[in-house]
Amino acid sequence: MIEVNQLSMTYQLGGRSIAVLRDISLRIEAGQRVAVAGPSGSGKTSLLLLLSGLERPASGRIAVDGVDLASLDADGLADLRRDRIGIVFQSFHLLPSLSALDNAALPLQMAGRRDAREKARELLARVGLAERMHHYPGQLSGGEQQRVAIARALVHRPRLLLADEPTGNLDDQTAASVRELLFELNRELGTTLVLVTHDLDFAARCERVLRLHEGLLHEARADALPA
């Protein structure tokens, strides 16, 4: 599903080149649940952005579902995300002028699917928002907004779901509910799940835990990660 070879990423800051990721190689099989942990600034979000094609590496190769991301232009990468990748952000990124239903339907509508709203209704009901789908983001709680974001990310049945701190802005009870939802949908849809999280309980329930530290990636045990 994901193959990463000798991946590096740098940022320019004040005339200096800062290495965020250094010579990372990684393989994730289809259907796996993988947590990426590490201190703030260690490059976790940068890694997800690279896997989604939203950022380009300084060097190295990334293949997602057999597609070499370097072989695609901006339109090709957008098509890949539309067809095969779902992304959940910590801050939801819902469009405030659209209802929950229209936010969730957006990926399919952009693909020209006539059944976009029907499929969005089905998934919003699946995530417990059957009675809230005509509400706007400003009328929803944080947990409800994240459920809409998850529905939007999964409405096109992607092969890969990337989640960046999906429970980071939620209270404990709501976070636990969202965790359960992500794992249930992972099992039901067979979607590969790669998530960035500081939640050690969340990480421990994944099949693999990867730790980023000073730009380097290591396999780790969840119980060995720093709080």
pLDDT at 222 over 60: no
State the number of CA atoms in the 13 A half-sphere of 38 facing the CB.
24
Query: Among positive and negative, which fits the CA dihedral 223, 206, 179, 24?
Result: positive
Q: Which residues of 179-217 are buried (b: 16+ CB within 10 A; e: fewer)?
A: bebbeebbeebebbbbbbbbbbebbebbebbbbbeebeb
Q: What is the DSSP letter of 11?
A: E
Give the list of residues 6+ apart from residue 152 with CB closer than 8 angstroms, or none.
Answer: 86, 94, 103, 104, 106, 107, 120
pLDDT > 70 in the chain, percent? 97
pLDDT confidence tier of residue 225, bands split at 50, 70 and 90: low
What are phi and psi for residue 77, nearest 5 degrees?
A: -65, -40
Q: What is the pLDDT of residue 168?
A: 81
Torsion sign, CA atoms 45, 50, 54, 56: positive
Answer yes or no: is pLDDT of 223 > 80.
no
Q: Which domain holds residue 79?
A: 2-224
Model pLDDT for residues 105-124, shown as the tens digit of each residue:
999 998 899 999 999 999 99
pLDDT value at 162 more than 80: yes
Query: How many whole angstroms from its chain centre is CA 17?
Result: 27
Record the tokens describing residue 109, joined without a space.
């509508």
Q: How many angstroms from the chain centroid is the CA of residue 55?
A: 14
Q: Is 103 helix (H, G, I), strand (E, B) or coil?
A: helix
Each residue of 1-26: pLDDT tens digit?
Answer: 999 999 999 988 878 888 899 999 99
Give the pLDDT score at 91.
83
Give the CATH number of the domain where residue 81 resides: 3.40.50.300
- Residue for token digits 């976790």? 44
3-state secondary structure of 62: strand
Query: Could you give the residue ranges of the DSSP H alpha helices within the chain?
Result: 44-52, 74-84, 100-110, 116-126, 142-154, 172-189, 200-204
Average pLDDT rounded to a whole number, residues 56-77 = 95
Contact in structure between 141 and 95 (CB atoms under 8 Å): no
Please count the structural domains in the chain.
1
Q: What is the mean pLDDT of residues 26-36?
A: 94
Residue 186's pLDDT is 87
